[in-house]
């Protein structure tokens, strides 16, 4: 896994290692944990944590967990395959995993802890998937490749390069959404404008705007993988932070980390109304001035008009995890709620909105190791109802990647990467309402 961060970022992250740690003496490393103390709130049933067996092999990493419209869940992952890698997936339905299927394999992929493949579904039953394929010898010259399956993954279309600019630059950090019953929307960070920047080619350069900036682009692909509506959503974004998307009552809302001439890297949103993308607008003005890419993007979920965004910031030299809610499909956001703060906060956040709660998932790391944290809030975010330490991880640093959170049929499920004896391994947990019968 290759991600090179400039010295300025290394210094910031090195300062983010604290001594204090939650009490985990009675928890098993890498296993689901138990609830820890949370602020008092109105009496609500607690959720209990149970292990969730995953179908991935011992050397799998880069998970993607997606809730399909039919209530099933799709889990994809990458694992080594001969001299290359394979992208595989399985469907979880009626309490069982389907046999794992291979989407694609290759020996020229760009495989990275932070820039990972994703799955999506459309109403016609099609599956869509993407991965990253190297385009030149430069370390960060790679393209976004897209495929579609009409037979539930038994076969896949010929791969199509989403970006067709032909420059040996970075293209990735993708978000996928259903654009219609049989077409897919896709947004990605696109480095074509950085091609003229001396020394640029990926995460290590962070070229100034005068040499060309990372851009955010979007396009639509129909059932025959024909493209339409390609447009630039933002002419200058953070180089290597994840994007995310949620379907609102008024179209897809893309959330990402912006970048200004002054190196302010706050979180912004843009929404497609069927005709045009809205001007990017901040979720909140943190004014985090950062001279390098933190590789720590936002997460978003939506339920009709309600939007929930979670993100990491280190404004004022304080690592902080925040969430904010919008009641008007992302046009305006309320004052953020601080979920966690302090040197142990690593971010790598995911969020979800349920019928009666909002959920946020993130990683902490201190001298005692990494822990996976999950918090449940009232829908209006006014009270934290429960905070759970899901697992104490054996892995440290970047190798544990980005955990995944999904809601399906009222059940909360989480998948994440741990590193056990030097080898990545996917783990899972399910949370159930303690008052609900099996």
Q: What is the pLDDT of residues 232-245, one digit of tens each?
A: 999 999 999 999 99
The answer to whether residue 9 scores a pLDDT higher than 90 is no
Shortest CA distance to 41 belongs to which of 375, 385, 339, 434?
Answer: 385
Contact 367, 343 (CB under 8 A): no
Q: Quick one: average pLDDT of 169-186? A: 98
In whole angstroms, give the CA distance from residue 326 to residue 329. 6
The yes-or-no verdict on residue 55 having pLDDT over 70 is yes
In the predicted structure, residue 250 carries a pLDDT above the cut 60: yes
Q: Confidence class of residue 211 from pLDDT cuts 50, 70 and 90?
A: low
pLDDT in tens, 411-423: 999 999 999 999 9
Give the phi and the psi of residue 7 in degrees, each rounded to 5: -60, -35
List for the chain the helix, strand, coil content (%; round to 5): 5, 50, 45
What is the pLDDT at residue 21?
33
Task: Please give the mean pLDDT across all residues of the chain.
Answer: 89
Q: How far is CA 32 from CA 27, 29, 104, 353, 416, in A?
A: 8, 9, 31, 22, 11
pLDDT at 100: 98
DSSP state of 109: B
Cα–Cα distance, 298 to 322 (Å, whole number): 10
Residue 53: burial class (beta carbons within 10 Å; 0-12, 13-18, 19+)? exposed
- For residue 31, pLDDT over 60 is answered with no
What pLDDT score was predicted for residue 290? 95
Q: How far apart are CA 121 and CA 69, in angstroms?
A: 8
The pLDDT-based confidence of 436 (bands split at 50, 70, 90) is low
Euclidean distance between CA atoms 68 and 412, whole angstroms: 14
Quickly list DSSP for 287-345.
--B-SS------EEEEETTEEEEEEEE-GGG--EEEEEEESSTTS--PPPEEEEESTTE
- pLDDT band of residue 45 (cuts 50, 70, 90) is confident
Q: HSE on the CB side for 40, CA within 13 Å?
A: 0
In tens, the pLDDT along 97-131 reads: 999 999 999 999 999 999 999 999 999 999 999 99
Q: What are phi and psi of 398, to 5 degrees?
A: -75, -20
User: φ, ψ for residue 207 (rounded to 5)?
Assistant: -60, 145
pLDDT exceeds 70 at position 36: no
CB neighbours of residue 356 within 10 Å: 12
Which ranges of 15-150 would DSSP assign to H, the alpha helix?
A: none
Q: What 3-state class would DSSP assign to 70? A: coil
Element (H, E) at 320: strand 320-326
- Measured CA to CA in angstroms, residue 374 lies from 129, 299, 340, 347 at distances of 28, 14, 11, 12
The values of phi and psi at residue 275, to 5°, are -125, -40
Structure tokens at 331: 């046009």
Better pLDDT: 204 or 7: 204
pLDDT tops 80 at residue 301: yes
316 in helix, strand or coil?
A: helix
DSSP 194: G
Place of tokens 């933190």: 294
C-alpha Rg value of the chain to the nearest Å = 20
What pairs with residue 102 in β-bridges?
88
- Cα(222)–Cα(240) distance, rounded to whole angstroms? 28
């Amino acid at each position: 896994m290759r991600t090179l961060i400039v010295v300025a970022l290394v210094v910031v992250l090195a300062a983010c290692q604290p001594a204090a740690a939650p009490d985990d003496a009675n928890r098993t490393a890498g296993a689901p944990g138990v609830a820890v103390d949370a602020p008092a709130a109105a009496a609500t049933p607690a959720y209990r944590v149970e292990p969730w067996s995953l179908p991935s092999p011992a050397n799998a990493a880069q998970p993607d967990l997606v809730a399909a419209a039919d209530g099933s869940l799709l889990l994809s992952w990458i694992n080594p395959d001969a001299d290359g890698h394979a992208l595989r997936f399985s469907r979880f339905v009626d309490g069982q995993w389907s046999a794992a299927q291979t989407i694609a394999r290759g020996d020229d992929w760009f495989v990275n802890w932070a820039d990972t493949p994703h799955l999506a579904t459309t109403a016609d039953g099609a599956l869509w998937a993407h991965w990253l394929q190297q385009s030149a010898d430069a370390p960060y010259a790679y393209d976004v490749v897209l495929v579609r399956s009409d037979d539930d993954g038994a076969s896949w279309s010929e791969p199509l390069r989403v970006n067709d600019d032909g420059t040996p630059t970075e293209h990735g950090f993708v978000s996928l959404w259903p654009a219609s019953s049989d077409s897919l929307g896709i947004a990605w960070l696109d480095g074509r404008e950085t091609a003229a920047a001396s020394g640029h080619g990926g995460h290590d350069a962070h070229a100034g705007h005068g040499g060309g900036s990372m851009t955010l682009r979007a396009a639509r692909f129909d059932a025959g993988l024909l493209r339409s509506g390609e447009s630039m959503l933002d002419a200058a974004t953070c180089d290597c932070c994840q994007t995310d998307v949620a379907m609102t009552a008024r179209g897809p809302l893309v959330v990402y980390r912006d970048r200004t001439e002054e190196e302010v890297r706050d979180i912004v949103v843009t929404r497609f109304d069927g005709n045009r993308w809205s001007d990017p607008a901040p979720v909140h003005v943190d004014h985090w001035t950062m001279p390098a890419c933190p590789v720590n993007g936002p997460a978003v979920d939506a339920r009709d008009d309600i939007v929930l965004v979670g993100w990491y910031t280190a404004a004022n030299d304080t690592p902080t995890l925040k969430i904010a809610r919008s009641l008007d499909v992302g046009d305006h956001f309320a004052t953020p709620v601080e979920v966690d703060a302090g040197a142990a906060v690593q971010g790598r956040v995911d969020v979800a909105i349920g019928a009666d709660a909002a959920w946020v998932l993130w990683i902490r790391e201190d001298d005692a190791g990494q822990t996976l944290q999950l918090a449940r809030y009232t829908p209006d975010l006014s009270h934290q109802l429960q905070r759970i330490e899901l697992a104490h991880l054996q892995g440290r640093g970047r190798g544990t990647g980005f955990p995944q959170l999904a809601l399906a049929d009222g059940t909360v499920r989480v998948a994440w990467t741990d590193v056990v004896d030097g080898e990545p391994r996917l783990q899972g947990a399910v949370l159930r309402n303690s008052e609900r019968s099996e």
